[in-house]
A and B are shown apart, each in its own frame.
Chain A
Amino acid sequence: MENKKENVISLLVNNKPDVLARVAGTLGGKGYNIETLCVDVTINPDVSKIILTTIGTKATVQKIEAQLARLIDVIKVENLTDVETVKRELALIRMALTADSKSELIRTINKLNCKILTFNSDHCVLEYRGTKCEVDKVLETLKPLGIDDVARTGIAALERKN
């Protein structure tokens, strides 16, 4: 059996209400889960970019790409998995604070290079930016200190074009 791995697929699509549903349906209909998803309009307001990751074998992911390319509203499909890219993800992390944990938390935050966005007596919200792996690691480190909730953007990726 061929190895499954995480694939990063970048799509340019028409900026229309049901396009995301078509893309999601194409994956979901074949039984593939979207692991991360990042969508925004491009500098051309008629066009959006969708960057998603999904786990699968090379052969299967190629089939998914061909299916996606067939959608009328999909302009371009690129697999960035094996391309030289910059990949980043942003996480917002809300920590529950206690009198005991505060000083330990501040030390950790400084070490981790997290940005403090808000801070009051009960909660603080942190921002962290990095690769998916780095975000995972930061969350792991913060977990014992009392994570209240997390929001992650999903991966944004861009080819380097050296």
Chain B
Amino acid sequence: MKMKGTQVLIECLKAEGVDVMFGYPGGSVIDIYDELYKSKFNHILVRHEQAAVHAADGYARATGKVGVALATSGPGATNTVTGIATANMDSIPIVVFTGQVPTHLIGNDAFQECDITGITRPCSKHNYLVRNPDELANTIHEAFHIARSGRPGPVLVDLPKNVIAAEIDYDPAKIKINATKLSLQPKPSSKKYVQLLEMLRAAKRPMLMTGGGILLGKATDELRAFARRAKLPVTSTLMGLGAFPGSDPLFLGMPGMHGTYFANMAISHCDLLICIGARFDDRVTGKIDTFASNAQIIHIDVDPSSINKNIVVDLPIVSDAKSALENINRLLKDNNYTATEAERKDWLDLIESWKKKAPLSYCQDGKIIKPQCVIETLYEVTKGKAIITTEVGQNQMWAAQFYKYDDPNTFISSGGLGTMGYGFPAALGVKLAFPDRIVVDVAGDGSIQMNIQEMATAMQYNIPVKIVLLNNGYLGMVRQWQELFYEKRYSNTDMTFQPDFLKVAEAYGWEAFRATTPDEIRPVLEKGLFSNRPCLMDFQVAREECVYPMVRPGASISEMTLGTREMTN
């Protein structure tokens, strides 16, 4: 059937099951926007292209589906780069379409031309410049396939204006994606799992460290079954929070720089560390030489290039988390293996003693709100059932530490790239996917200003997200480093000059409330969270509160400061 390139695009999106797209129009994509208008495709007009990509990313994280964003050529395309790099670092499946000048003008410095495939080559999983209209449909489907297969990631498809305007002979039955390589599923030998079971049987102090790979691989149930059957304590990286219930007694919280004392102690003292779907990021390992130095390490990851990258392991298994855990659980069952209480008692008692010695804590006294108290109250008021997105910095760490995530995909945060300005647009994507859930962006006063323009988007489409603003008038995390490592030289981190956030929110038509004393925390949350309108809650918090525990950069994770006291081994 003959149809226009823009129609082919819409047909392909429908075939891929895309139900919403985030974007911003411009000259090179005006034909696509005309087609969106005619086909009534569900499109959310953001106020900045970066937000379109973050919203698509948030949607993808919450649903497990591929998120889609659209931007015009040139500046529209370059504005998507931070969003693409964010998704790339966290392995999030998104497809970003960008407009491009007509093929005969490419390379001529045409108006709003830029080499976006060249720019995004190192920060995307893959990208395409479609030069031939006949390849349009195949390329789009291939892009979706690549985005979601193996270790997921962002794929950019650059669409020259003449390609999308061309008349194309479109036949969905003829679509053929060149995916021989992509369809290869790693199949580790069954001997590896037998070896894993032997190592597990021999271990006295085994534990699990899990990451985003569990959520991306939809392996939550399998993980829980394995951990419970083998009675393994579980620590989860920031990216994996929610995969194992935060309120489960076997859960240890995060490891690493701002991990819990007991998670870091457990890693330092365990004799078997089974790592699934995490990549031993430097914020997790601290000093590499001393990380889990008493343990044999098993690393299960879908990406062979992640294995032996930072940490040399004893048993590498290249597999997606779900099939690996299914194999392990089957093997445990076939061998009638269940860890006994007695066999784990010493190890779990030791961990319990660490938990008692240094639980996550803070001191809420006096008239000044402690940010941790806001998060803890948020947890209580929402009964742990909200989906939390975060910005980056102290707000992100407190949201990770003091809210307990019992369900997968309920903590949504830019872990790898650490993108300020991520949480709010991501929350819009999440709320569109789950209109019945309370969706809260935990923000700082620095990062909220990086994409605050999206308040308009929330109003235009009636997306009632909530912003919990931990307002300390500083770029808090950098200030914390300046306090601890730069003798309190607060170079360019004081942001006392700020707008009246309530007035900003109200100007956009939002509800807005402020809390200045601890007894106002709960009433403000109760007023703000349950209404059917977007709402900003400004919590004026202690200005110089630090995130603890903290492992100094370059130190071993067993050497932590808790602020008031140093803790080691």
Contacts and interface: CB of A to CB of B under 8 A. Distances in A.
Contacts of B125: 72
Q: How large is the interface on A (under 10, 10 to 19, 20 to 34, 35 or more residues)?
A: 10 to 19
B304 A69 contact: yes
Contacts of B121: 18, 21-22, 25
5 contacts: A59-B308, A63-B309, A71-B126, A72-B126, A75-B181
Given A21-B121, A72-B181, A63 B126 contact: no
A41 interface: no
B326 interface: no
Contacts of A70: 303-305
A29 interface: yes
B117 interface: yes
Given A63-B308, A66-B304, A72-B181, 19 more contacts: A18-B118, A18-B129, A21-B118, A21-B121, A22-B121, A25-B121, A25-B122, A59-B308, A62-B308, A63-B309, A66-B305, A67-B305, A70-B303, A70-B304, A70-B305, A72-B125, A72-B126, A72-B182, A75-B181
B447 to A, nearest CB: 27
Interface string A59-101: 1001100110111100100000000000000000000000000
A18 B305 contact: no
Nearest to A74: B181
A18 to B, nearest CB: 7
B146 interface: yes
A18 B118 CA distance: 9
B422 to A, nearest CB: 23
Interface of A: 18, 21-22, 25, 29, 59, 62-63, 66-67, 69-72, 75
Contacts of A29: 122
Given A18-B121, A22-B121, A29-B122, A69 B305 contact: yes
Question: Which 4 residue pairs are nearest across A and B when measured between Cβ atoms?
Answer: A66-B305, A72-B126, A70-B305, A67-B305
Nearest to B131: A17
Nearest to A63: B309
Most buried by B among A18, A62, A66, A72: A72
Interface in B106-131: 117-118, 121-122, 125-126, 129
A141 to B, nearest CB: 42
Nearest to B155: A72
Contacts of A18: 117-118, 121, 129
A72 B147 CA distance: 11
B309 A72 contact: no
A67 B305 CA distance: 6
A57 B323 CA distance: 34
Contacts of B126: 71-72
Contacts of B303: 70
A137 to B, nearest CB: 38
Contacts of A22: 121
Interface string B146-173: 1000000000000000000000000000
Contacts of A67: 305
Interface in B421-474: none
A70 B126 CA distance: 10
Nearest to A66: B305
A29 B85 CA distance: 15
A72 B146 contact: yes
Nearest to B309: A63
A70 B304 CA distance: 8
B320 to A, nearest CB: 15
A21 B129 CA distance: 14
Contacts of B308: 59, 62-63
A18 B119 CA distance: 12
A93 to B, nearest CB: 35
Contacts of B309: 63, 66
Contacts of A69: 304-305
A67 to B, nearest CB: 5
Nearest to B118: A21
A25 B309 CA distance: 18
Contacts of B129: 18
Contacts of A21: 118, 121
Contacts of B181: 72, 75
A61 to B, nearest CB: 12
B445 to A, nearest CB: 35
Contacts of A25: 121-122
A72 B177 CA distance: 13
Nearest to B150: A70
Interface in B305-355: 305, 307-309
A59 B310 CA distance: 11
A71 B305 CA distance: 11
A143 B307 CA distance: 47
Contacts of B304: 66, 69-70
A50 to B, nearest CB: 16
Contacts of A63: 305, 308-309
Contacts of A72: 125-126, 146, 181-182
A71 B153 CA distance: 12
A21 B118 CA distance: 9
A60 B179 CA distance: 29
Interface in B73-122: 117-118, 121-122
